[in-house]
Each structure stands twice: as C-alpha cells, then as structure tokens.
Structure 1
C-alpha cells in the first residue's frame, strides 16, 4: 500500500538518505502549529502536538511523550511505524538511537528550519563523531504533500496598554538593558509569544493562540519587526511608527541576517538551526530571551485582568456544570455536544476571544488519553454513569485560562472515587505550599505527587506549566515537574508568575481523572529566614463533590476544600440566576452537613 511514509522512504532511497527526521515544530519552534507545518502528522497519521518521526529506508519510528501513548498507538500503523515511548525505561531518545545506529557515511537529512539551534548542534556533533553527514536543506515531507494548506496570514491587531499594563518603549528599554549586561550589540528573536508580548500585538496565525508570524531584531538604537505587510492595518503601522519600529518583509529574514555583523544574543531553543547558521560569522551569545522571564511575571494590570477573566470563566463553567448535572440522563448528550454547550457559555462572557486550546472532552476510557480530542468517529453518547473529564480554557483580552474538572455523571466504582479523591488531595497540597524565594517548581512537585506516589501511582507528564497573558496556554520558564531536562533548570518561582496545578490518574482502557487550577505566586511574609511565598487560586470553578470520599481527606485538606468552595460561591453567586445560585449553595453545603 502506498502511503505518505512509503513515498518518503522511496524519496530517501533515491537521494541516498539513511535517516530523515521530521519534528512537530514550525520555523519558530512553536508548540501548536498552523496546519501548513503539520508535516509529522501528514507522514505518520499521529495528531498529537508533541513528537517526532525518524524515518529509515525500510522502517520508521515515532517518539512521543506519556500524554500521547494511548493516542499514538491508536493512530499510527504499527506495521509501518514503531512507537517509541519517551521517558519509559529502556526506550532510547532519538539522539541515543542515532548514536547506536548511525554509521560512517550515512546521511541524516532534515529541514533545518524545523529544529532549534540547540538540537541542531547536538545532531551536528553526533554526525561528526560517527563520520556521517548531516544535511539540513531537505524538504522531503513538504514536497510530497499535495494539497498542503497555505501558511496562515491573519490580520495583526493591537493589544492595548490597558490590558498589557506596560508600553512597548518600556519593554524595549528593559530588553536593551539586558543586552548591555551580556555585551550584545543586537538581539534576534524568533519566538512568536515573545514578539507578541514585546510589541503589544496579537494575531490569529496559530490555532487557539493569538500569535502572528514574525521575527524581531533589536539594537540599542533601532528595532526591526519582520512581518507580512499585508497583515498590517494603517492603525497598527501607525502605532509601530510612533514606537520607532521599522517594518520589514517577513520573507527577507535570511538575507537580512546574512548581512549583519557584531555580537548577537539569540535563544538557541527558539531560533531555528537554519537561521542560526546565517549568523555564524558573527559573535553569537547564546542565552534565554530576556523577554521570556519578563512576560512570565505578570504586572498589576495583568493580574487584575486575570482575576477578571477567571471570574468570567468560572461563571461559564458553573452554568455549564449546573446544566450538565441537571440534565444528564434526560437530555441526549455526546462528548462533542457538551463541548459545544460549554463553548456557548464562554461566548456569553465579556472580552472572550475564543478557546485557549482544543477542548478535551473525554468520557470514561477516552479520558485515559491525556490529550484526547473527540471527533465525529470517536464521539460517544454520555450516560448517567461514570466520569467525564473536560480540560478547557479561554482567551480573553484580559488573560488566558486553563481549567480541568472531572464530572461525576452517575454511579462510579470505589476505585474511581478513591482516585478522584487522591487527585484532589494532590491539587490541594501543592496549592497550599509556603516556600522560600529561590525555590523552583521542581522543588515543590513532590507536594502534588506525594499522595499518589504513596499509592504507587504516577502521571507521565508535568504537574503544571506557566500560562501566558492573552498568549500561549503553555508558557515557560516556570513549571512544576520533578524531572530536570538536559541540565536545564526550571525557573525560580517569582511573585506574579502564574502556573497550573493539575495532577491526575490515568488508567488505560478504563478512565482518566484530572483536577486543574491556575495558581498565582505572591508574597506571603518576610522574616529573619528570608522572603516566603505562597499561591493564590485564580480558578473559580466548583469541584464535583459527588466524587469525593471525605474519609480519605485529613482535617487540613477538608478545611482547604471548604475554604476554596466558599471563595467560589462568594465570587460566583452574584452573577448566577437564583436557581443556579441555589443549586450551587446546596451542592457546596452537602459537604458541610
């Protein structure tokens, strides 16, 4: 049978390429990519957001992480492609696999625009050590893709200072100060979230994320923004001119970089390998984009906006929960229909711009796939029994939300109830942390995993991620995870950072449970031991008490749960109908009886 993969392998044979690497990213190393760049999905059939294909002339492999094991097994053709489960004992990384199998004279091919500089340099060193050849100018998958969607080119719009809380000149001044500290004459930026944040602009080139294709070049005297000029309105062009920003065509970035001289600061994890090679004659200073840490710490305007949009999100979620609990079993429902109902509630909220990611609405065993997405083929009817997991979020002009709740639709097993309660214990434990300034997310991750580890249970993903402000729902550098990646420490937690707290239990073939809140890091106290920090709940959504076994909660956990639900009720009830508020009051009073 002829498939995109077999066509790729034929092309590899013709060009004498032993291995061909196809990652998930676009030229900006984005997490979620425009359909134009989904070459890995085109070749493999796997639709998850993370993973890479390493094709060989007679066999191929797909690497992906624990969020997608079940999904990948269902989507790839196991006769043509082997699943490599990242992080599982005995499973090599792509680099380790190539170290073992790459031979002298072999050609390793790829499109150098689709990998970051850090990874490209590792591949180059590996190829050199094996006396193999690394070729980075291939576009084999792209060339085979007939009917490939065009790259997005949406209108760019201004994210007003009343929402951003800081002007563009102020941000540029801070970035230039950081450049001066590291003796960089210029700073090249390819990360779309960073560019959107620096210039207080947004677009819709990415699904669910208000970004636009662009590059930026900053010196002490000048600043250039590379965009598709057809995407600029007169208003945006005028604003950029006022801020002394020079507009250049997006497609001229290669030739521009080739002409530059001097010391250049670039982030090797977000600048693609091809563009870095254009700068190699310069003195390159590798370091994190200064804007990465800056945008992670939300200012007072952004924090106020986040609280406002979480109130709106909580209203929408609670109205949806009321409808769901009142009508399950009497009104026909499917995964996709209830997902649409939740979106209807969000659309009623002020300043709502759309989902912050593709909603995960997963019933029973579907929820065991961490990033399941219901389709026409997989959509199932909901019954008054079992668990329904909904992970969803919204983009608002005032911020970005991400919340997961697992709903009890009827009878559940004692195992499900126990696991539901353990996940709740885990979420509450981390959210109540008090810690010294200097701690990282990795310092605190055990607080969430502890209740599950005591039972011999784990989840194959991080506990939480940073969230942008009307930007990406996944944003570094702050995170909660116990594993440190490639000697790269996660960020020190700072007041103003926003991070999700989302432990879970996933039992393949049976069910999945996750409870997720967004937490704001803030100051708690200062004393002779230093500066202590704590978290504040931003998420305002009830937890389904029908799944809680209070006998498994200690006194402190019960107090934390009651206090959280009191906050939810006090915040939301003035914005609900009398019937909805009465139901919510009764639902939350059940726990106090």
Structure 2
C-alpha cells in the first residue's frame, strides 16, 4: 500500500513543547515566532523533516500558520481545516483563528506588545509576507537557526530520493528545447538568470522526476537557469549518482550541492529573476548582499508548465481512461458490499488503491485517499487513520476523493455515493452541487476569462438555496507532477486568465457538520477557442477528462432543467461507451445500470 493509515500521535500536549520553544525564543531575543506550514521551496507539500507546524501544534493539514508569543499562541487555518484543527490541537495551549476573518498581522496588532521582535525563518517566508508585517509597525527578525529545529530532538532526516529522467515522448519536448525556450523568456524579462525554487518547475524544465515528497514525483532541488539556456541543478548528496541522470542532463546542466545554491546566486550577472510569490526571502537577501539586481516577476516555468502540449494532453486522456476503468470496478464493488454495513473507511481506501494497482501502471496515488463515511465526509480534507476509521452504514453517504499518478498523467476524482436511503436533505443538496458542476462543465467563455468568473457559476445554485462551501471550486493539475498546480484556479482568488491547454478540477461541494459531506469532481481540459454556431466571437470550452458514473440515486431530476439533464445523460453515455468494453460482464452490467438515462 502507498497510503499509511497509522494514527498520528494525537493531540500534542502544548505545554511542554511550547515551553521549550519559548525558552529558545528568549535565548534568541525574540518576543514571538512565526511557524508556517512551509519548506524552503514554498510549495504546498512538505516532507516530514519540514513539518514544523505539525510538530509544534499537532495540526497536520496542508495549509496554516502558527504564531507563538511569550504568553499566547494561535493557529490560523482556512475554512477547509476548521474541524480538523479543532480535533488535533490542545485547546489549553492554542487559540484557533480563521485566516479569512483574522489575518496574522491583524492578530499580532492586538496580541503582541509594542516594539515586539517577531522572529521568522527567511527560508520559509516570501518577501511580500514579511513586508506586510513590517508595514504594520512590527519588527520582523530573520533567524539564523529556526527555534523549532533547535528543540526538535528526533527531527527526521531530509529526503534524498533517487532522481530519474522523464521520457521526452511523454513530456512532448526535450529538456534542451525547454531550457532554450524558457531562457529566452528570462532574457525578455531583463534578467541574466532565473532562480528556481519550486520543485515541480525544476522537474518540468529538466524532464526529471523524483520522490522526495510522498505522492508528488518531484525532487526537492534548487536550480538556476541562465538566459543562454544553460543551467545549474542543486541536489542533496547522492542524488546525482545515476549515470543515466548525468547523461540525460547533458553538458549544459551543471550539478552542485544544495549548500552551494546561495553562493552561486551571488555570481549571477545581468540580474536575477525571482518569483514574487514563491521565492524564499533568504534568496532575495543573498542576492541583495551581493548587489545582484533583482527582477521581481513570475517563475518562467509556471505558465508553460500549466499549458499542456499535445503529448501531455494525450497522456492525460490515456491516464483518465485507465483510472476510469479502476473507478468503475471500485464503484461496482462498493455498491455490492456497502449495504452489509461491514465496510470500513480503510477497507474502502485499500480496495480503491488495489483497483488502481491492477492497471499495472500506477506509480503512486496522487494524494492520500479521502474516504469519509457519514459525518466524516463533512471534514473537507479528512484523512482516515486507524484511530478515526468507522464503518459505512446504510442510510449514510460515502465521500471518496482520490487520484493516481501514472507516467502519462495525474488524476483526481471525487464521487459521493448513497448507501441505502439517503439522509434527509442529501438529495436536494447533491443536486444543487451537481447543477454547479454541470454549469462549469458546459461553460463557454471568452479569452481573458479568469477562474474567479467560473467559480461564481459553480456556486450560484447553492447560493440561491443559502448554501456554500469553504474551498475553491478547482485547481490546476500536473502531468505526472503535483496534483495541485498553478497558476490557474477556479476560486474567489482565481485572478489568472484561463488559456487553452490548461487543466482544472471542477469540484463544488456541500458539507453538513455531523451529518454528511458532498463533493463531485471531474478534471477538465480547456479547449481551443472557437466561434459557436450563429455567434461572432471565439469562445473557449472544456473537455471532460474524468470518466466515472455520478450517483443517480442522489439526483432529483425535478431540480435540473432540460439542458442539465441532457448533459448528465450524455456524460453517462460517454462513460458507458468508453469503459464498458474494458470491464467484465458483472461490472459491465453494473455500469450499464449506473449510467442509464434519467
């Protein structure tokens, strides 16, 4: 099994670790310290060695930040993690704050004493974040040694997994071609080189894959790309041992140790391009100390990586067909076995992984499967463990959010399944969520449309009923890379214009605390703009990649209009026609019934 179901240590008693941390803060002359869920790469995913927020607070969610003062401590999370944070933190030690209601700086205004020295690790924060604190009159102090590291006696070793070449035929472009193309973009930005810190950017640029972060096939590396197209790659000891890797990189990519990254930055000529959102402040300060001109802009790999080429699009379709077959087999099994009341969340997650493994193409799952039965489905990013595992009972909903990593693509799908008679209110809520999901799937939209515009479409039916959900509607997806990829998103903050070739998830939801959770998710590929029949302006649209039935038992046809019913019937016909030939007779018969017209 890729997924580990062992229980986390439980609520971390705040007193002992906070006391040790405060003693170390005092030793360093600090009145407060910031602990983000971040590493030196500023990505969403962190290895165990960088899970400082979890070590200090017990909170294991994928986003959050803690602030520790001499007498107070607060953990800030967004709406996805409110329930999880309540379960995992010690209320005697931590005050929970909603990030969207009380930003960190605002809380510090009222909590920190005048003139307080607030420490931060410059590898774990960007320039804009620290600038915002200093504009509020706070004194932000960069530390040489992270106080959490100083008290973390059994801190795991940093990862150094093997790195392997990624085939050009799957990438659709050689690494040399990418380096030349992105090097020209660096020059056009007025820089002599770009400092790259995002692991998926480096993996994409150099056609590499690694294993430093579970579920994400990337190496935790740094890189410098010169405008000439030449590059330097900074790795941990032993990661460059494979002769095939050196042969793949070629003579125009030098390899050095991670500890040489800052010194190499200081030798950049012609200015350094830094991403204003993802570059650690430590990088900027190293350049400033060497008087290297900084050009603040965008990571030059992010947008090209987001726009999938023909080979990546073909790979995505192949991966989703393969994944769809596994999902159909899994859903058929679940329908047969769930009415017994004997299935547990762990058993369900294990069976789904087994079906993906049966494709003989699974490299990893793309994230730990969210298998939430009944009330656990209302925890948006629920992770089942041996301590939380519960049986799925008739009369409940089962929310399963999962995905696979295949050499040719990454998948992410959510289905919500009824077991016996649905609970009160579930059919109406599910149908309203479905209406939003269909609205996005059917959308036609002009160039320069942002994800924010489509996010509103997904929520409209829920809003009319007085419902909503506290997460974005969609995120970008990598090509055998990270399951969450930018810069595009369908969310209230989705300000990036959508472009043909981008992939996004479409996953509206509804969550009733203590009762059930609902989410329906397909992955979409943005198609080239074309002029609709009778129109005069080109409009983009979506190709739906995901292939799996949507539970018709949870759909109230009376709440759908004719076009919505037609879309669902057409989608189910496509799922049936595509997947049924790959299924055995029993699963094929189940699929036939599950995709019957409304």
Same-fold status (TM-score > 0.5):
yes
Superposition deviation, residue 103 in structure 1: 4.4
Counterpart of 2:222 in structure 1 is 215
Whether the aligned pair in 2 keeps the contact of 1:346 and 1:394 (CA below 8 Å) is: yes
Whether the aligned pair in 1 keeps the contact of 2:196 and 2:202 (CA below 8 Å) is: yes
Whether the aligned pair in 2 keeps the contact of 1:110 and 1:138 (CA below 8 Å) is: no
Whether the aligned pair in 1 keeps the contact of 2:374 and 2:515 (CA below 8 Å) is: yes
Aligned counterparts of 1:331 and 1:46: Cα–Cα separation in 2: 31
Counterpart of 1:174 in structure 2 is 181
Superposition deviation, residue 584 in structure 1: 1.1
Counterpart of 2:584 in structure 1 is 577
Aligned with 1:530 (options 520, 528, 537)? 537
Aligned with 1:426 (options 426, 431, 436)? 436
Aligned with 1:28 (options 35, 38, 41)? 41
Aligned counterparts of 2:276 and 2:322: Cα–Cα separation in 1: 38
1:252 pairs with 2:252: no
Please give the per-residue CA displacement for 1:26-64, whole angstroms capped at 9, x wherever unaligned: 000121110000000000011101000001111100001
Aligned with 1:301 (options 311, 314, 330)? 311
Superposition deviation, residue 92 in structure 1: 1.8
Aligned with 2:243 (options 234, 240, 250)? 234
Aligned with 1:336 (options 346, 352, 362)? 346
Superposition deviation, residue 133 in structure 1: 4.8
Whether the aligned pair in 2 keeps the contact of 1:315 and 1:576 (CA below 8 Å) is: yes
Aligned counterparts of 1:411 and 1:13: Cα–Cα separation in 2: 59
Counterpart of 2:63 in structure 1 is 50
Superposition deviation, residue 100 in structure 1: 4.1
Counterpart of 1:542 in structure 2 is 549
Aligned counterparts of 2:384 and 2:177: Cα–Cα separation in 1: 44
Aligned counterparts of 1:84 and 1:374: Cα–Cα separation in 2: 24
Aligned counterparts of 1:322 and 1:218: Cα–Cα separation in 2: 49
Please give the per-residue CA displacement for 1:478-524, whole angstroms capped at 9, x wherever unaligned: 11112x3xxxx622111110000000001111111000000110025
Aligned counterparts of 1:106 and 1:83: Cα–Cα separation in 2: 22
Aligned counterparts of 2:513 and 2:22: Cα–Cα separation in 1: 33
1:465 pairs with 2:475: yes
2:511 is paired with a residue of what secondary structure? Answer: strand
Counterpart of 1:162 in structure 2 is 169
Please give the per-residue CA displacement for 1:247-273, whole angstroms capped at 9, x wherever unaligned: 111221122223434311010211111
Over the residues paired in the alignment, what is the CA RMSD in angstroms? 1.6
* Higher mean displacement: 579-588 or 159-168: 579-588
Counterpart of 1:65 in structure 2 is 78
Whether the aligned pair in 1 keeps the contact of 2:79 and 2:470 (CA below 8 Å) is: yes
Question: In the TM superposition, what are the counterparts of 1:357-396 in structure 2 within 5 Å?
Answer: 357-396=367-406
Aligned counterparts of 1:351 and 1:246: Cα–Cα separation in 2: 32
Whether the aligned pair in 1 keeps the contact of 2:575 and 2:595 (CA below 8 Å) is: no
2:178 is paired with a residue of what secondary structure? Answer: helix
Aligned counterparts of 1:465 and 1:407: Cα–Cα separation in 2: 23
2:184 is paired with a residue of what secondary structure? Answer: helix
Please give the per-residue CA displacement for 1:329-367, whole angstroms capped at 9, x wherever unaligned: 337310011100000000111432111111100011111
Aligned counterparts of 2:560 and 2:381: Cα–Cα separation in 1: 29
Aligned counterparts of 2:286 and 2:583: Cα–Cα separation in 1: 57
Please give the per-residue CA displacement for 1:382-405, whole angstroms capped at 9, x wherever unaligned: 222210001000111011100000
Question: In the TM superposition, what are the counterparts of 1:65-84 in structure 2 within 5 Å?
Answer: 65-84=78-97
> What TM-score do you get using the length of structure 2 for normalisation?
0.94
Whether the aligned pair in 1 keeps the contact of 2:195 and 2:265 (CA below 8 Å) is: no
Aligned counterparts of 2:128 and 2:165: Cα–Cα separation in 1: 32
Task: Note closer, same or farther for the CA distance 1:133–1:501 as it changes in structure 2 (3 Å cut).
Answer: closer
Please give the per-residue CA displacement for 1:555-579, whole angstroms capped at 9, x wherever unaligned: 1110010000001001100100011
Please give the per-residue CA displacement for 1:282-324, whole angstroms capped at 9, x wherever unaligned: 1100011121000100001110010000001111111000001
Aligned with 2:355 (options 336, 345, 348)? 345
Aligned counterparts of 1:506 and 1:360: Cα–Cα separation in 2: 14
Aligned counterparts of 1:571 and 1:61: Cα–Cα separation in 2: 51
Aligned counterparts of 2:274 and 2:486: Cα–Cα separation in 1: 17
Aligned with 1:265 (options 258, 273, 278)? 273
Counterpart of 2:282 in structure 1 is 274
Counterpart of 2:9 in structure 1 is none
Q: Could you tell me which runs of 5 or more consecutive residues in structure 2 were left unpaired when the two chains were aligned.
A: 1-12
* Higher mean displacement: 252-261 or 229-238: 252-261
Aligned with 1:518 (options 516, 523, 543)? 523
Whether the aligned pair in 1 keeps the contact of 2:427 and 2:555 (CA below 8 Å) is: yes
Counterpart of 1:288 in structure 2 is 298
Whether the aligned pair in 1 keeps the contact of 2:341 and 2:392 (CA below 8 Å) is: no
* Higher mean displacement: 17-26 or 229-238: 229-238
Whether the aligned pair in 2 keeps the contact of 1:478 and 1:493 (CA below 8 Å) is: yes
Please give the per-residue CA displacement for 1:372-424, whole angstroms capped at 9, x wherever unaligned: 10111100112222100010001110111000000111121240111111111
Counterpart of 1:96 in structure 2 is 106
Please give the per-residue CA displacement for 1:155-198, whole angstroms capped at 9, x wherever unaligned: 00111011111111111121122122121111111111100000
Superposition deviation, residue 11 in structure 1: 2.4
Aligned length: 579
Aligned counterparts of 1:587 and 1:158: Cα–Cα separation in 2: 41
1:295 is paired with a residue of what secondary structure? Answer: helix
Counterpart of 1:479 in structure 2 is 489
Q: Could you tell me which runs of 5 or more consecutive residues in structure 1 were left unpaired when the two chains were aligned.
A: none
Counterpart of 1:504 in structure 2 is 509
Aligned counterparts of 2:272 and 2:501: Cα–Cα separation in 1: 30
1:408 is paired with a residue of what secondary structure? Answer: strand
Aligned counterparts of 1:350 and 1:571: Cα–Cα separation in 2: 19
> What TM-score do you get using the length of structure 1 for normalisation?
0.95
Whether the aligned pair in 2 keeps the contact of 1:312 and 1:350 (CA below 8 Å) is: no
